[in-house]
């Protein structure tokens, strides 16, 4: 039998996060967006709720929850504030997760507890200035010199890489390039390593108060034991991290779309035109009905992907489908929500204005919509170019 219910604990947890978002995040989201800096107090309060340790075992300071529980938190935060939602998603799913999944026991014990506690943040350095979709085209190199890796190169758009509490970035780097092809490995680079340079922040369309930087590595030396996973395993390991990341980005997109539905319903009741609330006009009510329907379907898609993963079944295609569909639903819902708000939708005091700017990246980050379609087509036995 199919069961669409969340567990009792998950429902309770959802209510706690919703209350937290209403009390702590909602009143400040617009100001934080205008200021464009990651609000460290809010990050600390999110850490106090245990959000950064959700999927990690208690032995490393986590609470041993599943991916769906993390997604519930991301969805709730994204209803109001996508910048903080991506901060959580990237910190847990991209920053800390590679250390948990591929790290040795020693690496886990050393690096995970402060990340799970939210006392530190980690970045995930895959994308380079020369390309993100073609991640195998990595140009950053790591060469062994005695018992140290010497890293040279750069990474672009790395979330959480330049905050006051960023402790490390895991990166992909070419560790051998010869006749037998390129070997890409992943390496932990602590942020206080000499030669680790954090560039200035970007002027982004949205996600204004999430932390995103370009990184440069100039003869950056880290101990040989900072190799994460097997030599040459970095590329496939990093790609498998993105399968889970896509489920979490789908949750973020669903949260944003739900925020647009909520704001639109409220506005459709309040705003009057031609002597009646605009929600009484079919043109407006049907827009909201379509937004709500697609948001619900997108939610079901990511819940199913998380359910497949929890059951130990293949979920790559479902994760890509959930990410593709829900990011496009979020962009559409934000566009329609602005339309429903008329001129006020174009004004920053109205949350849908920020949602509109925050939505577009969802079709780009952690694999563009084009790359999602390629992955899905491949899972269907096709080989699109």
Ligand X SMILES: Cc1cc2nc3c(=O)[nH]c(=O)nc-3n(C[C@H](O)[C@H](O)[C@H](O)COP(=O)(O)OP(=O)(O)OC[C@H]3O[C@@H](n4cnc5c(N)ncnc54)[C@H](O)[C@@H]3O)c2cc1C
Binding site for ligand X (CB under 6 A): 90, 94, 123-127, 131-133, 157-159, 204, 207, 212, 361, 364-368, 370-371, 374
Query: 200: Cβ–Cβ under 8 A, 6 or more apart, which residues?
Result: 213
Active site residue ranges: 366
Instruction: Give residue number: closest CB to ligand X.
Output: 132
Q: Is the dihedral of CA 181, 188, 224, 101 positive or negative?
A: negative
Q: How far is the CB of 339 from ligand X (least distance, A)?
A: 25
Comparing CB distances to ligand X, the nearer of 157 and 267 is: 157
Q: Which is nearer to ligand X, 56 or 157 (CB)?
A: 157
In the complex with ligand X, the residue whose CB is nearer, 261 or 372, is: 372
- In 3D space, the residue among 328, 206, 331, 334 whose CA is nearest the CA of residue 263 turns out to be 334
CA 112 – CA 106 distance, rounded (Å): 10
CB of 186 to ligand X, least distance (A): 12
CA pair distance 118, 44, nearest whole angstrom = 7
Closest distance of CB 67 from ligand X, Å:
18
Burial class (CB in 10 A: 0-12, 13-18, 19+), 106: exposed
The CB-of-334 to ligand X minimum distance in angstroms stands at 16
Q: Tell me the residue ranges of DSSP E strands in 205-284.
A: 212-223, 227-228, 272-273, 276-277
Q: Other CB atoms closer than 10 Å to residue 205's CB: what's the count? A: 12
Minimum distance, C-beta of residue 371 to ligand X, in the bound complex (Å): 6
C-alpha distance across the termini of the chain, in Å: 40
For 276, phi then psi, to 5°, come to: -150, 155
Q: What is the DSSP string of 208-223?
A: TTS-EEEEEEEEEEEE
- The number of CA neighbours under 13 Å toward the Cβ of 101 is 20
Q: Which is nearer to ligand X, 212 or 318 (CB)?
A: 212
């Amino acid at each position: 039998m199919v069961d669409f219910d969340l567990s009792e604990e998950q429902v309770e947890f959802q209510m706690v996060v919703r209350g937290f978002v209403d009390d702590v995040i909602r009143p400040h989201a617009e100001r934080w967006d205008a200021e464009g800096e990651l609000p460290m107090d809010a990050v600390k309060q999110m850490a106090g709720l245990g959000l950064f340790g959700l999927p990690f075992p208690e032995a490393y300071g986590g609470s041993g929850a599943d991916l769906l529980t993390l997604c519930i938190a991301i969805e709730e935060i994204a209803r109001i504030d996508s910048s903080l939602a991506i901060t959580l998603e990237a910190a847990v799913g991209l920053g800390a997760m590679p250390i948990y999944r591929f790290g040795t026991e020693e690496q886990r014990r050393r690096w995970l507890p402060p990340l799970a506690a939210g006392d530190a943040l980690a970045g995930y350095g895959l994308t380079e200035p020369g390309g993100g979709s073609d991640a195998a085209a990595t140009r950053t190199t790591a060469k062994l010199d005695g018992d140290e890796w010497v890293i040279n190169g750069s990474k672009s758009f790395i979330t959480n890489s330049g905050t006051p509490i960023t402790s490390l970035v895991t990166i992909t780097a070419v560790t051998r390039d010869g006749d037998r092809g390129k070997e890409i490995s992943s390496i932990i680079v602590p942020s206080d390593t000499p030669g680790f340079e954090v560039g200035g922040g970007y002027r982004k369309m949205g996600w204004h108060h999430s932390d995103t930087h370009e990184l440069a590595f100039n003869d950056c030396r880290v101990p040989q034991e900072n190799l994460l996973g097997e030599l040459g395993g970095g590329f496939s390991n990093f790609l498998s991290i993105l399968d889970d990341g896509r489920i979490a980005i789908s949750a973020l997109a669903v949260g944003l779309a739900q925020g647009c539905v909520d704001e639109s319903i409220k506005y459709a009741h309040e705003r009057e035109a031609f002597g009646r609330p605009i929600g009484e006009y079919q043109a407006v009510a049907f827009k909201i009905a379509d937004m709500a329907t697609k948001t619900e379907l997108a939610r079901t898609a990511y819940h199913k992907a998380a359910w497949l993963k929890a059951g130990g079944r293949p979920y790559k295609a479902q994760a890509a489908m959930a990410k593709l569909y829900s990011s496009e639903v979020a962009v559409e819902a934000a566009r329609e929500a602005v339309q429903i708000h008329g001129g006020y939708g174009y004004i920053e005091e109205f949350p849908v204005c920020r949602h509109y700017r925050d939505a577009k990246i969802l079709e780009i980050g952690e694999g563009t919509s084009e790359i999602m379609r390629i992955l899905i087509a491949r899972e269907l036995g096709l080989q699109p170019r």
